[in-house]
Structure 1
């Protein structure tokens, strides 16, 4: 190959890398803003209606991409069974928990708690599904992450088991669902060969179908709509629960799941900033301090502070584990 032949290939490679990097940043911004979108949408919709709307809109957005690219649905019944489990554990339950909890906590605090997902994933992967053996440093990271959560809760201020504290535990329940789902993906859905788009579409689409089936039970309550509420739910559904999932999947395939999981560091920064700027929310000192402790725990739990080179992840490897550590979610 001559030097002139290699230039177009090099340019195309750099362009692809830039596209992945831009998608990574946009994913972090959109998922960080999702907590603001949920808070605004709750001004006129019930928590179940918010979860229902974001899943249905997300499924429609992803479905359009599937039609344009003419991708075919998997035929194995086992794949559909596993994806149904993930639809419930990764979408339906945590989305309902987040929507309910954000009636009682700030959007910024919800985004901070969302950053505990990698800690939950390490617990589920190492202790429940045993898909990886936890090293002492990783166990220390999990304990440090738990300490960070305690700092965020601030028990020295007095524990008032009102809706606020219950809501914080509900969010932790949602991130535990994310951790369960990510470990489940690695254990049961790691060799399906589905594309990033198809995996996202099935995950969101099945969850949307479940919510539609539950419409008479959960969703048929009065609504109060205005342009801000409508705009928030459309952005939350089409972008946060739709397009951003594809960007995240592509990032994992290009960078590997560990590097892609650093989107966790972007979302709380965006969530807290927008909560303060747009909604006038207040941040107490223990919330960012606790978040920093959680981030340090994440680094230890992922064994990323040892300063050694890691093997390069093959593009397209472990596609099913490429779901985001936070759908925002």
Structure 2
């Protein structure tokens, strides 16, 4: 979520801390909720429910807070792109992928988003220029993704097994979701940030238009048999109303209070929650390469977001000053 508000306006630091933790837990748990929901609903129905329920929740907030919607048709057109790239496509891809990969692994791929965001912001939208350390961060992050995939596990002999092929397809779909998110953040920065659209309105426009698109796609993605149990219903409701609705507002409140740099550290929390819940509740397991690759991705994120400096660069700067 990109807004141009100044940090410090908004909720208290304690309240921001509670909302930050809630956001990380709910977004981390969303991969568990998708996995549970898929036991009785198709991947399209899961994504459809998530967006429609999220749109309704945010619509109520917009009505109560009396936030104005944009009047410019061009801004609406930009938000349609954001809705497709930031909601419709990634939600469908993640839900489809979780038919073949563990919820924990899907949450790890979600953490690749800052790397894809850096690539998109630099190469596609040209809204940022990366330093040497940031370029290294992107390279390390990409290397981490390769380690997570573990291409050696998909040798021709292993690929003969259908499950191995579908797992690779699921991982590629997860990576596609992270690319969609990276594209969306770059697009927001390039075409919407600076137009005076409030954070609440931005959240509603993205999720609301995504929900409207899903309603139009109902015959394609949502029709079919549904087997509802209490865990499935609760998973869909929580995923939609809380994870896709209210969590976006928590994100905005934390952004206003703590600023974008600290807010973006939720990236580190969500995969920890996602992996832990997958292991504790679903009995999932991880191969050695998945947490190893995740660690490389996190190092890449630290470099790409300038939280980790290269000591050699400092020494070079000091030598330049001395000379």
> TM-score normalised to the size of structure 1?
0.87
* 2:260 aligns with one of 250, 257, 270: 257
Distance 1:288 1:220 in 2: 37
2:3 is matched with none
1:152 is matched with 148
1:188 is matched with 191
Distance 2:129 2:274 in 1: 33
Gap regions ≥5 residues in structure 2: 1-7, 311-323
Does 1:75 pair with 2:71?
yes
1:238 is matched with 241
CA drift of 1:18 comes to 1.1
> TM-score normalised to the size of structure 2?
0.89
1:205 is matched with 208
| 4+ residue segments displaced more than 4 Å | 12-15
Per-residue Cα deviation, 1:192-215 (whole angstroms, up to 9, x for no partner): 222221111111000000000011
User: What value does the CA root-mean-square deviation take over the aligned residues?
Assistant: 1.7
Distance 2:73 2:12 in 1: 35
Distance 2:304 2:214 in 1: 34
2:251 is matched with 248
* Residue correspondences, number: 297
Distance 1:80 1:253 in 2: 24
Does 1:105 pair with 2:105?
no
* 1:222 aligns with one of 222, 225, 242: 225
2:321 is matched with none
Per-residue Cα deviation, 1:6-25 (whole angstroms, up to 9, x for no partner): xxxxxx99971111111111
Distance 1:176 1:257 in 2: 20
Per-residue Cα deviation, 1:212-238 (whole angstroms, up to 9, x for no partner): 001112211111110000000000000
Change (3 A) 1:288 1:260: same
1:115 is matched with 111
Gap regions ≥5 residues in structure 1: 1-11, 308-329
1:31 is matched with 27
1:289 is matched with 292
Distance 2:11 2:210 in 1: 34
